[in-house]
């Protein structure tokens, strides 16, 4: 089969897919980023036939068959819809949509397109999460009752390297990202392992702003969102969005009637598997802790990929779906379900933690409920202001001292905004 003509839109995160794509029978035809330095950094690493572009339209003029969307978080859906309408396959970074209306439009576009849509969610493909799914698929835990997922990613508020790279201007989306929104890394491994779909969500915030003297351009004073979902199999998940408390790490636990499996916090990716003493499977132990192994023929190819090899499996599974026409694990319904959990969990927070029913975007009646819901905490690409508070305390603002230090770090004066680089 001829290699798939692939383009990458956004080279900060998008760079991670280049080597894996080449290993999986793709041919790079275009790489796009509006930052000249980012484009220049990759010119010597790719074939001379690859066209470097500064705009989406220029990239699409190269006639790719598939596109990796790794542009800014709030701006994925419009480009994904355009690709699908052109019949171009889409691997979309997290999240699939930043508003409920975008989720509706994205599902409708995917249903009407011959192209594949896949969410580039990588955490379920980490070695320990693949092992957790393998245990769940084996059936020894019994019926699933409860699960926890935690994505905890604190940062040093006085890191002079972090801000210019990740929050390079004051209206950057990370400065307005509600803690509940970036939920895919905590929720996807649980949904993937158990097969459960959330049908109701409620959430509460942990509102503890940074010290007023710390560099800070964020309009979110919450450190975490503690989110609970009721699922279609009557199980319950408790997850975080992107939390920011000590210490960094990702942990998951799935509890069944007979036993439970988890990667214990701070244990370097080990697995702990435990059963009720009276329900230990034959040949197993009541409690076991071990380093999981890869159970995949391409494990050697994954080792060099980012995020502990998981970036390789995302790329491989997407290109496999493109070649076979079979829907991937993280299709448009999986993606928009997770986005809906994050968006509506934040609204639950703004309403004091009330439970909110989650739509099923397979159903047109559920789509109609949200097709005109454009509420957003982010600034628009056209300069339109947010229409939804991004923090549990709608009146929270960074302190004058913190904002001044942040502006100094990104090279912005108090009189104007820094040049947008991504």
Architecture of domain 123-301+332-370: 2-Layer Sandwich (3.30)
Residues of each domain in the chain carrying CATH 3.30.360.10:
123-301+332-370
Both structure tokens of 225: 């969102």
Could you tell me what percent of the chain has a pLDDT over 70?
98
Residues 6+ apart with CB under 8 A from 171: 379, 417
Does residue 95 have a cis peptide bond before it, meaning omega lies within 30 degrees of 0? yes
Residues of each domain in the chain carrying CATH 3.40.50.720:
4-119
Distance (Å) of CA 371 to CA 80, 99, 103, 105, 375: 17, 10, 8, 7, 11
| Range 4-119 classified under CATH 3.40.50.720 | yes
What's the confidence (pLDDT) of residue 415? Answer: 44
Summarised one tens digit per residue, pLDDT across range 363-409 is 999 999 999 999 999 999 999 999 999 999 999 999 999 999 999 99
Q: Give the chain's mean pLDDT.
A: 95
**Average pLDDT for 230-239:** 98
What's the confidence (pLDDT) of residue 413? Answer: 53
Summarised one tens digit per residue, pLDDT across range 30-81 is 999 999 999 999 999 999 999 999 999 999 999 999 999 999 999 999 999 9
SS (H, E, C) 177-189: CCCCCCCHHHHHH
What's the confidence (pLDDT) of residue 36? Answer: 95
Summarised one tens digit per residue, pLDDT across range 294-333 is 999 999 888 878 788 899 999 999 999 999 999 999 999 9
Alpha helices in 160-228 (DSSP H): 162-166, 184-194
Q: How confident is the model at residue 268 (pLDDT cuts 50, 70, 90)?
A: confident
Q: Which residues of 62-100 are buried (b: 16+ CB within 10 A; e: fewer)?
A: bebbbbbbbbbbbbbbbbbbbbbeeebbbbbbbbbbbbb
């Amino acid at each position: 089969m001829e290699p798939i003509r692939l383009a990458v839109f956004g080279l900060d995160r998008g760079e991670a897919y280049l080597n894996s794509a080449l290993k999986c029978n793709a041919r790079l035809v275009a790489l796009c980023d509006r930052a000249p330095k980012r484009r220049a950094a990759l010119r010597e690493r790719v074939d001379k036939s690859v066209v470097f572009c500064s705009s989406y339209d220029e990239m699409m003029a190269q006639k790719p068959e598939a596109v990796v969307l790794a542009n800014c978080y709030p701006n994925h859906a419009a480009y994904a819809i355009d690709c699908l309408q052109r019949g171009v396959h889409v691997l979309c970074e997290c999240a699939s949509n930043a508003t409920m209306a975008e989720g509706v439009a994205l599902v409708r576009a995917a249903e009407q397109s011959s192209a594949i849509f896949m969410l580039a969610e990588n955490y379920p493909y980490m070695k320990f999460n693949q092992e957790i799914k393998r245990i769940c698929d084996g059936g020894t835990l019994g019926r699933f009752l409860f699960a926890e997922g935690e994505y905890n990613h604190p940062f040093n508020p006085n890191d002079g390297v972090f801000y210019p790279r990740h929050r390079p201007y004051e209206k950057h989306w990370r400065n307005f990202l509600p803690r509940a929104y970036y939920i895919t890394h905590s929720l996807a491994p649980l949904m993937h392992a158990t097969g459960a779909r959330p049908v109701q969500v409620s959430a509460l915030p942990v509102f503890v702003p940074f010290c007023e003297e710390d560099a800070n351009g964020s309009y979110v004073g919450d450190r975490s969102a503690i989110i609970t979902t009721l699922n279609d199999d009557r199980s319950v998940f408790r997850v975080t969005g992107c939390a920011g408390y000590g210490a960094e790490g990702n942990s998951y636990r799935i509890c069944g009637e007979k036993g439970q499996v988890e990667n214990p916090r701070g244990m370097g990716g080990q697995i702990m598997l435990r059963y009720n003493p009276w329900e230990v499977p034959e040949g197993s132990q009541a409690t076991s802790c071990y380093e999981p192994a890869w159970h995949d023929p391409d494990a050697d190819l994954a080792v060099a990929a980012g995020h502990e090899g998981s970036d390789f499996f995302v790329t491989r599974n997407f290109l496999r779906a493109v070649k076979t026409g079979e829907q991937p694990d993280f299709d448009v319904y999986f993606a928009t379900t997770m986005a809906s959990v994050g968006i509506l969990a934040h609204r639950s927070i703004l309403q004091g933690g009330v439970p909110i029913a989650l739509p099923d975007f397979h159903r047109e009646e559920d789509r109609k409920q949200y097709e005109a819901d454009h509420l957003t905490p982010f600034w628009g690409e056209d300069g339109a202001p947010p229409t939804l508070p991004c923090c549990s305390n709608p009146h929270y603002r960074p302190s004058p001292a913190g904002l001044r230090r942040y502006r100094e770090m990104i090279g912005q004066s108090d009189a104007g905004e820094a040049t947008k680089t991504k």
